[in-house]
Amino acid sequence: GERIRSTIGDTAIATDAGPLPVTASVGLALLDLGGRDIELDALLARADRALYDAKEAGRNRVVVHPTGHP
């Protein structure tokens, strides 16, 4: 996630008004199977929460939500 965020941040978009810097916030969720079935909705909810946490913390960062409930 950090490599993707950094690469995006290093790439400006050319516009008529000059280069436009771009940033990215990334939310990740860890998956620990531990003998359990994968609950995709719960995994996506944790990743979504991590994305909102990244934005609330100032944007342009990666936040990882640990295993567990959203």
Residue 37 to residue 25: CA distance in whole angstroms: 29
Name the residue with tokens 């936040």: 63
Task: Write down the pLDDT at residue 31.
Answer: 83
Spell out the residues 6+ positions from residue 11 whose beta carbon is closer than 8 angstroms to its own: 22
Task: Write down the pLDDT at residue 40.
Answer: 86
Which pLDDT tens digit goes with each residue over 14-61?
A: 999 999 999 999 999 988 777 676 788 988 999 999 999 999 999 899
Task: Write down the pLDDT at residue 46.
Answer: 92
Residue 66 to residue 28: CA distance in whole angstroms: 9
Task: Write down the pLDDT at residue 68.
Answer: 62
Interval 4-15 mean pLDDT: 94
Q: Is the pLDDT of residue 12 over 70?
A: yes
